[in-house]
Amino acid sequence: MTYFVSLKITAIIIGLLCIVGHLPGALAPAKFGPLLRTLPRNYPLGVVLMLSATLWFTTLTGVMDLGEISSARMQLMAVWTVAGILVVIFVPGFLAARGLGCLLLLGAAVILDAAFLVTTPWRYVMTLLAYYWVIAGMVLVYSPHLWRDAINYVTKTPERFRLFSWPGVVFGVVLIALGLFVYP
């Protein structure tokens, strides 16, 4: 196990993030729709997200077992750091989408690690969420314009934005309930 966090804590934190991320769109879609439409091309946010993903991955490389290539640990950490910085400098288009995609890919590992030896069948809710994050992360990294198109579709009208936001709030509540009452 790489991460030593319980499924209970993981579900509660992700549930809170779901609620915080979706509640503004559910309660005030006209106000938050224009803000959401600016996110895919928001360069300062992209720098923060991409450098956060770079730091996370570099740290992960430093602490995990690399097996046969453990002797190249420092070189790999240097390559990941330089690559992350070069992406920030030379790939400014849709950097926020790409950074979010990298963070989703890394976050999926935390969920899978937390659910690894849990015996309740409700762990599959989190496992499916992790694999959804993997697919979404890959799509965001290689086709970030699809996130822009999806945001434009969802925020076309305030009613549509509200309709798409409430399921995220409900899912967050379900995750918190699972974390509080089901997961060990």
For the segment 9-67, what is each residue's pLDDT rounded down to a tens digit? 999 999 999 999 999 999 999 999 999 999 999 999 999 999 999 999 999 999 998 89
The reported pLDDT for the residue numbered 170 is: 98
Q: How far apart are CA 114 and CA 130, in angstroms?
A: 11
Asked if 179 and 12 count as a contact pair (C-beta separation under 8 A), the reply is: yes
Q: How far apart are CA 45 and CA 147, in angstroms?
A: 15
Q: How far apart are CA 129 and CA 134, in angstroms?
A: 9
How far CA 97 is from CA of 63, 143, 158, 174, in Å, comes to 27, 9, 23, 26
Q: How far apart are CA 38 and CA 30, in angstroms?
A: 14
∠ CA(79), CA(83), CA(89), 5° rounding?
150
Using DSSP, how many helices (H) and how many strands (E) does the chain show? 8, 0
Q: Is the pLDDT of residue 1 over 80?
A: no
- Per-residue pLDDT band for 4 (boundaries 50, 70, 90) equals confident
How far CA 109 is from CA of 131, 154, 161, 173, 180, in Å, comes to 9, 28, 30, 22, 22
